Amino acid sequence: MNIYTIHSESHQILFELLQNSLNHPINSRIIGQISKNTDYGSDEVKKFYFIKILYILEILTKETKPFLFLDTDIYVFRDFIKDIEKRLSDNDILAQYEKKQFGLDTICTGIMLIRPNERTKKAFLWVLKNLHRFVSDQSALNFYLKTHRIKCAILPKEYYSINYDNGDKVWNGEAVEVTVRNPFLIHLHWTLGMDNRLKLLAMVKNKIAVY
């Protein structure tokens, strides 16, 4: 299974952490720094989302087997490749759990196992064309999944994110009880800035080491 990621120059340290912890080859695309404005939903950040979706569409045109797309802010604790391949089953997309929204489960686009077919090509092309209507590519894809015929499954919480334990709040350095005892990985989102991402990783590492 091929693995892909895309990141800007400012996220090189996170890519190296991902690469060293994953222990599988990664196809990485580095883009120039678009802007220092990293506010969620800003036009500058949306430019990165646009480039990211273009990249996924490019991959969809050449891959014939399911491929894994990862954000760079992921750290792997134990090998998950066989587990995630098994969980795809007959789904078109298998993705990390994000949160409940309006009573419905939503996915995170930072961890996606994608099956190349006409349904997934249509989905990501729709996201590209309609991204301007949404705060992020993730919001757009979640809307599409709820309104179109496409099979999507959600990964268990061993594919970890801090919002699972802090009530869906942005993490600002506070102590959090990590309830997932043996996670495959952590996605270092739901926090802002490089320093906080690295502090979050250190905290979770310390928490799971005592179990």
Read off the pLDDT of each residue in 14-26 and give the average, rounded to a whole number: 96
Q: Give the tens place of pLDDT for each residue, 180-195.
A: 999 999 999 999 999 9
Read off the pLDDT of each residue in 131-136 and give the average, rounded to a whole number: 94
* Burial tier of 49 (Cβ tally within 10 Å: 0-12, 13-18, 19+): buried
What pLDDT is attached to residue 32?
Answer: 76
Express as a percent the part of the chain with pLDDT over 90.
Answer: 85
Question: When comparing pLDDT for 120 and 47, which is higher?
Answer: 120
Read off the pLDDT of each residue in 4-16 and give the average, rounded to a whole number: 93
What pLDDT is attached to residue 39?
Answer: 54
- Cβ-contact 176, 203 below 8 angstroms: yes
Residues 184, 160: Cα–Cα separation, whole Å: 7
pTM over 0.85? The answer is: yes
Q: Does residue 143 register a pLDDT over 70? A: yes
**CATH match for 3-158 among 3.90.550.10, 3.40.190.290, 3.40.50.300, 3.40.120.10:** 3.90.550.10
pLDDT band at 38 (very low <50, low <70, confident <90, very high): low
Contacts of residue 82, defined as CB under 8 A and 6 or more positions apart, other chains included, come to: none
Lay out the sheet containing 104-114: strands in order across: 27-31, 3-8, 67-70, 104-114, 93-101, 152-154
State which H helix or E strand residue 144 sits in: helix 137-147
Residues 126, 147: Cα–Cα separation, whole Å: 12
Residues 160, 75: Cα–Cα separation, whole Å: 10
Give me the residue spans of the domains in the chain.
3-158
